[in-house]
Amino acid sequence: MSNIQTLLSAFDAIAKNPKKQLDDYISQGKKAIGCFPYYVPEELVYASGMVPFGVWGKTGGKINLAKEYFAAFYCTIAQLNLEMGLDGTLDGLSGVIAPSICDTLRPFTQNFRVACPDIPFMFLAHPQNRKKEYGVKFTEQQYNKIKIKLEEISGIKITNDNLNEAIKIYNENRKARRRFIELAGQYPHIITATSRSVVLKSAFFMLKDEHTKMLNELNGLIEASPIEPWKGKKVVTSGIVLDSPSLLKIFDDNQLAIVADDMAHESRAIRVDVQENTNHPMQALAEQFGNQDYDTLLYDPELNKRPGYLVEKVKKSQADGVVIMIMQFCDPEEIEFPSLKKGLEEAGIPYIKIGMDQQMTNFGQAQTSLQAFADVLSTL
Amino acid sequence: MSEKIPAKIRLRSIVDKVYQNAWDAKERGEPVGWSSSKFPAEIAEALGLAVCYPENQAAAISAKHGGQRMCEHAEALGYDNDICGYARISMAYAAGFEAEEKAMPQPDFLLCCNNICNCMTKWYENIARMHDIPLVMIDVPYNNTVEVGDDYVQYIRGQFDDAIKQLEEISGRKMNEKKFEEVCANSNRTAKAWLKVCSYLQYKPSPFAGFDLFNHMAVVVTARCKLESALAFEALAEELQENVKNNHSTWKYEEKHRIMFEGIPCWPQLQPLFKPLKENGMNTTAVVYAPAFGFAYSNLDELMKAYCKAPNSVCLETGVDWREGICRENKVDGILVHYNRSCKPWSGYMPEMERRFRKDLGVPVVSFDGDQADPRNFSEAQYNTRVEGLYEVMEEYKAKKEAK
Ligand code: SF4
Ligand code: SF4
């Protein structure tokens, strides 16, 4: 057990202090590239010899300077990303990659580009018709634009070889993270909601081979531990990001174990692997994006796959219910809520919807709701 | 001399006909489509499919004060009040809540193009689920550069060709090349006539109230591929030419100042919006719809490019350029910016645009909070104060200029 705790503390330290991580990489002579949400092909950054650094807002952050660019009705994740660009937090980065897939990210890309002119800016357009040949080709073309800029910044050519290598490293990391998510569901007495979050979050601030190494060790230790019956209830989380220690503590206090998730920051980001060792690794990366599904941000050609996918997740993980974290002002999540609700209701799965944002300091309402939800689940 | 029907009346009847045509098609058992305003209308038109326009419907419902009711129905279905008001109204209507303000037949297929926003994608998906009907999706990714690259053209072309196939199936007809060309020619002619109409705002005083354009826009949205639209706009341009000659205007007040109105108007509050403008003699001589709906193209590749140039799909620089262009041409001396709660992509550029307008044009810029469809997001008191403020600064600037 002590080894598990040591590893968890190490993950915790990294997740809580990304700035230190960044400074450490820089002092090792490495360059880092900020990767804003969503679906940035980090493999390209890795292949160019740089550190992909996830930037997903800042839990507990304050919006101040970004008000010069956004009215109040924008999600905090976009506003805080801009805030960090403006207040110098992102200064150590040698560039940023900014996707434009939702209606907030469209103006975000423009605002960031003009507000932070000193940070080299890489715009990324993703296609919604991403599965057909023309969609894959478009993705590939956009990734190629990023590739050229990354090569300029790093001075290292992205070749089929180093890209294939990066893909392998990323697949291994995705696999380790998926395994960890499963284990966290089976061993909630060892992995709390809080520690589950820091393990997954730290991946965004680490070179993936380093993260995989630590995580495989942790996974091994967990697997070797005895499974104990869980006295609390089991839930699946859904939403954009859930990394607030105060919110996670409410899960832990109420013995709500997170046994699977549908969070953009967690499972949605690692669901699909990339084909390894091909002669066309760039195309393989584009195809991976084509294979992304079940996401509020993505067009669903089959129109209603997501609720069924979530229902399946609940059944497979033997969860008792779903906690839907709605990021305030996030219209893709909000507009897909009624369909999700319908799907869950039809399957007889209890759920609760909790509003949140990254500036939140008062968790009273979330506390009351989650507690009530835990109580409801215990009576079922 | 025979009585000429005023262009305004002709334009209105064109929109009415679009919806009547859809009802008739429904009655005959033919499929009826719902289309986003900037879906390439050329395809359905050439295939003779009847199409309605939810954005236009939502605007009409809002203007007749049904917006809040429909929004609340949507909220009761679980749609957050944060979602675009047009989407909420439309989803409520699709779910079966009636709107006598502007009824239209329920859809049998959907035409979605997300060039204006990604909200469109999810809104149409939701309706497709409710009715279990096909959705034709043309995705236009956001563009960060002034130029539209070949990658965009190829990608959209691929989808365009697929859309034709899907719609051939839905209509049971084959695409006729000649018909398609004819429709494209009409569309270009309408665009040209529309731009011509808009260009009359450059005259000082203006031969018309720029707010009229918001009404005429319905025609560009719903019927730009029809010859009669081109003809009606051409007739309107002639009337405006007459107005210039005779020193007439549909702006019935003094034209003390000329402003750009930035954004979609608050349809539920057209009267309160207009009131302080007319009282202070502020004519709206620039609205961004002028350049934004003036699609012109001479071949298919250019058509794909034209559909990449929508409000909210172009980069900041192009957006600023469109606006500053019409502000200069139409001699604007102040700008009123609507922070439209419904439209996140649009309002998200506004603070930076405001700064650029001030710097590049040297005119005062004032903003107010509102919503195109949900009346709950507008405060008349705030609006009046802001307009008053704009008026005062414009007067000051004017006095300074005259003193020079
Ligand atoms: S998806 Fe939602 S949370 Fe993410 S940037 Fe867009 S609006 Fe914000
Ligand atoms: S108002 Fe804005 S968000 Fe709503 S449909 Fe139009 S472009 Fe989209």
With a 6 Å cutoff on the Cβ, whether A76 touches ligand 1 is no
* Residue of A111, A133, A334 lying closest to B80 (CB–CB): A334
- Identify the CA nearest to A349 among candidates A377, A307, A321: A321
Selection from A308, A182, B118 nearest residue A174 by Cα: A182
Residues of A in contact with B345 (CB under 8 A): 103-104, 106-107
Minimal CA separation from B89 to chain A, in Å? 13
8 Å CB contact of B126 and A296: no
**Taking CB atoms and a 6 Å cutoff, what residues make up the pocket around ligand 2?**
B 84, 86-87, 116-117, 119-120, 312, 342-343, 345-346, 372
CATH 3.40.50.11890 fits domain B31-174: yes
Average pLDDT for chain A: 97
Confidence of residue B1 (pLDDT cuts 50, 70, 90): very low
Note whether B354 contacts A: Cβ–Cβ < 8 A: no
DSSP codes joined into one string, A134-177:
HHHHHHHHHHHHHHHHHHHHH-----HHHHHHHHHHHHHHHHHH
The answer to whether the CB of B199 falls within 8 A of the CB of B241 is no
Q: Do domains B31-174 and B253-404 have the same CATH topology?
A: yes
Q: Is residue A187 within 8 Å of A149, Cβ to Cβ?
A: no
pLDDT at A123: 98
Q: A241-285, pLDDT tens digit by residue?
A: 999 999 999 999 999 999 999 999 999 999 999 999 999 999 999
A101 lines ligand 1 (CB under 6 A): no
Angstrom distance (rounded) from CA A336 to CA A306: 9
Q: B166 and chain A: CB distance < 8 Å anywhere?
A: no
CA B134, B137, B142 angle in degrees (round to 5)? 160
Convert the pLDDT of each residue in A191-223 to its tens digit: 999 999 999 999 999 999 999 999 999 999 999
pLDDT score at B404: 81
Decide: B206 and B200 in contact? Cβ < 8 Å: yes
Burial code (b: 16+ CB inside 10 Å, e: under 16) for B105-138 equals: bbbbbbbbbbbbbbbbbbbbbbbbbbbebbbbbb
Return the residue whose CA atom lies nearest to atom 6 of ligand 2: B343
CA pair distance A70, A78, nearest whole angstrom: 9
Q: What is the pLDDT of residues A135-158, one digit of tens each?
A: 999 999 999 999 999 999 999 999
Q: Is the CB of A104 under 6 A from ligand 1?
A: yes
Average pLDDT of chain B?
96
Q: B-chain residues within 8 Å CB-CB of A142?
A: 151
Q: Could you state, in order of their start, the residue ranges of all structural domains in chain B?
A: 31-174, 253-404
Nearest-atom index, ligand 2, CA of B84 = 4
Task: Calculate the CA dihedral of residues A370, A374, A375, A380 and round it to 10 degrees.
Answer: 140
Element (H, E) at A65: none
pLDDT digits (tens, 9 = 90+) for B65-103: 999 999 999 999 999 999 999 999 999 999 999 999 999
H or E element that contains B292: helix B289-292
Q: Using a CB-CB distance cutoff of 8 angstroms, which residues of chain B are in contact with residue A133?
A: 158
Q: B321 CB near a chain A CB, below 8 Å?
A: no
Ligand 1, residue A333: give the atom nearest the CA. Answer: 2
Instruction: Test A74 with B78 for CB contact under 8 angstroms.
Output: no
Q: What is the residue whose two structure tokens read 């697997």?
A: A223
The verdict on ipTM greater than 0.90 is: yes
Q: What is the CATH topology of the domain spanning B253-404?
A: Rossmann fold (3.40.50)
Contact A335, B79 (CB under 8 A): yes
